[in-house]
């Protein structure tokens, strides 16, 4: 099951501040919701144990996240692989970062592939929840950078 999402955040900070934030695994990890346990595994990677719920469907997932900065193209690529409940999730996301006057715009898009029982049994529900979660993550990125700047 393939899920596609995209969105945009306007951040009240300049390009460098945004770039520094999203290259920092510890800071990015804090933007995930319901993190129960966090391990920073490298200067561009972390493992997060996350609790996810949709109505009665609740479970624990473990995600390995890798950040791949592409400074030349003003882009940050993110790879997420994880699973839980017998399900495997692969997410590739990218964010284009562009400074516009005093603000920096983050254009993000992601594609998630879900495999396993959750993909079929939970399909009708996953799409909406996943969109919610991903949107939440990028909103948190914005909120955190905005706060840092304030």
Partner 1 sequence: MSDQIKDLNPAKECRAMGKSIKRREDARFVQGRGTYVDDIELPKMLHMAIVHSPYAHALIKGIDTAEALKVPGVKAIITAKDLAGFNLDWIPTLAGDKQMVLATDRVMYQYQEVAAVFAETRAQAVDAAQLVEVDYEPLEVVADPFKAREDKVILRTDREKKTNHIFNWNVGDREATDKALAEAEVRVKQKAYYPRVHASPLEPCAIVADMNTATGRLTLYLTSQAPHAHRTVVSLVTGIPESNIRIVSPDIGGGFGNKVPVYPGYVCAAAGTIVLGVPVKWVATRTESMTTDSFARDFHMEAEIGATKEGKVTALKVTTVADHGAFDAAADPSKYPAGLFSICTGSYDFPTAFTEVDAYYTNKTPGGVAYRCSFRVTEASYMIERAMDTAARELNMDPAEFRFKNFIQKEQFPYNSPLGWTYDSGDYETTFKVALEKVGYEELRKEQAEKRAKGEIMGIGISTFTEIVGAGPSKDFDILGIKMFDGAEIRIHPTGSVIVRAGTKSQGQGHETTWAQIVAEELGLDVDKILVEEGDTDTAPYGLGTYASRSTPTAGGALALGARRIREKAKRIAAHLLEVSADDIEWEDYKFQIKGVPSKSVTTQDCAFAAYTNPAPGDEPGLETTYYYDPPNLTFPHGAYICVVDIDKSTGEVKVRRFVAIDDCGTIINPMIVEGQVHGGLAEGFAMAFMQEIVYDEEGNHLNTNYTDYLIPTAYEVPKFETGNTVTPSPHHPIGAKGVGESPTVGSPAAYVNAVIDALSPYGVSEIDMPISREKVFSKLRAAGVEAF
Partner 2 sequence: MFPASFDFYRAHSAEEAVSLLGEHGADSRILAGGQSLIPAMRYRLAQPTVLVDINQMQAANYITEENGELRIGATVRDSDLEFSDLIRTNYQLMSDVSDVVADPIVRFRGTLIGSLCHNDPSGDWPAAMLAARAKMIIQNKDGKRVVNADEFIVDSFTTAVEEGEMAVETIWPTPSKNTGASYQKIERKVGDYATAAAAVQLELNEDGTVKEAGIGITAVSYVALRVAEGEALLRGQKVTRNLIKAVAAEASKMADPIADGRGSAEYKKEVVGVLVAKGIMQSLERLGRKVEA
Q: How far apart are CA 97 and CA 112, in angstroms?
A: 21
The least CB distance from residue 116 to partner 1, in Å, is 4
100 binds, among partner 1, partner 2, none (CB under 5 to 8 A by kind): none
6, 34, 111, 127: which one binds partner 2 (CB under 8 A):
127
Whole-angstrom Cα Rg for the chain: 15
Stretch binding partner 2 (CB under 8 A), from 7-15, 57-65, 89-97, 103-111? 57-65
Stretch binding partner 1 (CB under 8 A), from 20-28, 78-86, 99-107, 138-146? 78-86
33 binds, among partner 2, partner 1, none (CB under 5 to 8 A by kind): none
Residue 139 within binding range of partner 1, rule CB under 8 A: no
Q: In DSSP terms, which residues pair with 70 in a beta bridge?
A: 75
Cα–Cα distances in Å, from 93 out to 16, 21, 30, 121? 20, 16, 17, 25
Q: In this structure, what token pair is assigned to residue 88?
A: 């495997």
58 binds, among partner 1, partner 2, none (CB under 5 to 8 A by kind): partner 2
Q: How far apart are CA 142 and CA 126, in angstroms?
A: 24
Stretch binding partner 1 (CB under 8 A), from 47-55, 65-73, 94-102, 112-120? 112-120
Q: Of the two residues 17 and 133, which places its CB atom closer to partner 2 in the complex?
A: 133
Task: Give the total of residues touching partner 1 (CB under 8 A).
Answer: 15
Q: How far apart are CA 66 and CA 79, in angstroms?
A: 5
Distance from chain centroid for Cα 66: 10
Q: How many residues does the chain have?
A: 150
Q: Of the two residues 2 and 101, which places its CB atom closer to partner 1 in the complex?
A: 2
């Amino acid at each position: 099951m393939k899920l596609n999402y995209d969105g945009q955040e306007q951040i009240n900070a300049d390009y460098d501040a945004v770039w520094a934030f999203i290259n920092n695994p510890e800071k990015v990890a804090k933007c995930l919701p319901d993190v129960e346990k966090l391990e920073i595994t490298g200067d561009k990677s972390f493992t997060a144990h996350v609790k996810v719920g949709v109505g009665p469907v609740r479970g624990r997932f473990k995600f390995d996240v890798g950040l791949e900065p592409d400074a030349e193209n003003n882009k940050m690529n993110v790879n997420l692989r994880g699973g839980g409940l017998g399900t495997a999730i692969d997410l590739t996301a990218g964010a284009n970062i562009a400074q516009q006057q005093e603000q920096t715009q983050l254009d993000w898009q992601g594609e998630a592939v879900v495999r396993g029982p959750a993909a079929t049994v939970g399909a009708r529900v996953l799409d909406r929840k996943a969109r919610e979660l991903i949107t939440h993550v990028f909103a948190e990125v914005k909120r955190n950078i905005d706060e840092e700047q304030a």
